[in-house]
Chain A
Amino acid sequence: MSNEMNTTNKSEILKFNSLPKDEIRQISLGHRIWGKTQGFIYPFLTLFMLLVVTETIVRVFHIRNFILPAPTKIFETLFQSWPYLWTNAKPTLFVVIVGFTMSLCTAVPIGILIASSKVMEKFVYPLLVTAQTIPKIALAPMLIIWFGFSMTPKLVITVLISFFPMVINTVAGLKGVPQEMLDLARSSRASKLTTFRKIRWPFALPSVFAGLKIAITMAVIGAIVGEYIGADKGLGFVLIAAAGRLEMDLVFAAVVILVAIGMSSFYTLTFIERISIPWHESIRKENRGH
């Protein structure tokens, strides 16, 4: 092996290379913290303002609780009815998490299968794309007939509704690998497995994560819809029951919890995404703090 170069004419590169890399990193860390703080404070300020305005309107015009409850009343109910709400949040949370996980565990492998097999791509993928347009919610009554009032129909709706964004984004990510990268793999005699592990999968990950983030919000919708149709517990059940009794403060309190479930699951995924694909444009941009 004699690949060494002589070291003449290197002064220019060396000068260029000795840029203080650590310094650059530190600056970007500072930016990152600032960026995050900024990101959190501003929307909360807006939200706070909106709540103050609503509170004022409700009090000044004596708007009645069953039309629009005051924010303070909603938070009061949230604390007072917390045991009841939390008991009902648990089954919803269960359906969201289990449904999403089941969907993930089938959607991603199927996406990988479709992207790696011409036969699957020709025979199955078009059907899946078409099936995506079925309004899954319309199937809910039928699912009740098939599976009764158990947890099953809720899970099925959740799985169905979050399945398609994941499959389609997985396939799109894997199919989007640039020809040059595949040429690189082929010219290096890389096996299919190595090509997948080192090139196709990492390349597809940003797209897969985009799919997961759509899917998790869909999963929350799926769980609620499932509970709307027929349930004796869960936040969807609370929403229907409380609205029937015109207890709008309870309705809003349930919505607050739903928002919390939606946001925490979404940001959990965002967090996993950040540590999984720190190299991706979107993450790097965020870290630079705009």
Chain B
Amino acid sequence: MSHTNGQAIISISNLGKIYETPTSSVHAISDVSFDVEAGEFVSVLGPSGCGKSTLMMIAAGLRTKTSGAIQVNGRDVDGPMDDIGIVFQRDVLLDWANVIDNVMFSIEARKLPTKEYLPNAKRLLDSVGLADFYEARPYELSGGMRQRVSICRALVHDPQLLLMDEPFGALDALTREQMMLDLQSVWLQSKKTVLFITHSIQEAVFLSDRVIVMSPRPGTIDLDLRIDLPRPRSLHIMETPNFNAYMREIRETFEARGVITHV
């Protein structure tokens, strides 16, 4: 599948979601509209509980919307689709399977030819430094290594679109910076479209072509900011005035919304 630049891979308009539970109804997101173009790296940034995961799950076809419209690859989303890779907030590795089988789950489940994709799985694992760990069980790995496996699993069937829900949220600061660099290089080489959910301003600015800032619940879009920084970005870019100007703009948006307050 090939997409020309400028074509919307994800197209969201006036999307809303209300969770109905027996005891209450939670208005998770409200009136969210934006497009993600082919090859773009877009972050959705917002405070905890503002509906980021909800948004991603609807885009993945795993949750239903309450109102509005959402299209992926030009088709209305009404269930899980091929050609998407998902990295969940928790790594969701299967303890009973070794690393390579965890990655190959994507292939088996989709009934793709295992033989053809096995080299791909190995290449991906090698590229994230897990060459010696094909046979290891998930519980033998560190948090960072586990999340790397889950990223490989999301990529192994070579999807056009990658959805990632706070993949580095549970990692320590150092591992996280390494993962940011790794993800950037995967993305630069593969030119996949990425929708990246995060609550870290720094992570969003560093990785993204665009950062979409959401308000507290019910989540709406407060800011849609294009990040014009050269690639590949090194960690030192975080010390530059331009980077900090973007950080400040986002922070001010949060302050204006009362997400961050000063005493």
Contact = CB atoms under 8 A, between A and B. Distances in A.
Given A12-B178, A187-B86, A199-B94, A5 B189 contact: yes
Interface stretch (A93-101, A221-229, A276-284): A276-284
Contacts of B78: none
Interface in B102-134: 105-106, 108-111, 120, 123-124, 127-130, 132-133
Interface in B146-179: 155-156, 158, 178
Contact of B110 (A189, A195, A202, A205): A189
Contacts of B27: none
Contact of A21 (B96, B132, B144): B132
A3 interface: yes
Contacts, number: 111
Given A198-B109, A279-B95, A5 B185 contact: yes
Interface size of B as a range = 35 or more
A188 B181 contact: no
Residue with the highest number of chain B CB atoms closer than 10 Å, among A3, A16, A185, A190: A3
B127 A3 contact: yes
Nearest to A277: B96
Interface residues of A, number: 41
A186 B130 CA distance: 26
A184 interface: yes
A47 interface: no
B62 interface: yes
Nearest to B189: A2
Contacts of B158: 1, 3
B199 interface: no
B71 to A, nearest CB: 18
Nearest to B138: A279
B94 A186 contact: no
Interface of B: 57, 60-62, 80, 82, 84, 86, 88-90, 92, 94-97, 105-106, 108-111, 120, 123-124, 127-130, 132-133, 136-137, 139-140, 142, 144-145, 155-156, 158, 178, 181-182, 185-186, 189-191
13 contacts: A4-B124, A4-B127, A5-B127, A13-B128, A13-B129, A18-B132, A184-B105, A187-B80, A188-B109, A189-B80, A189-B82, A199-B94, A203-B96
Interface of A: 1-10, 12-14, 16-18, 21, 24, 178, 180-181, 183-191, 194-195, 198-199, 202-203, 205, 277, 279-280, 284
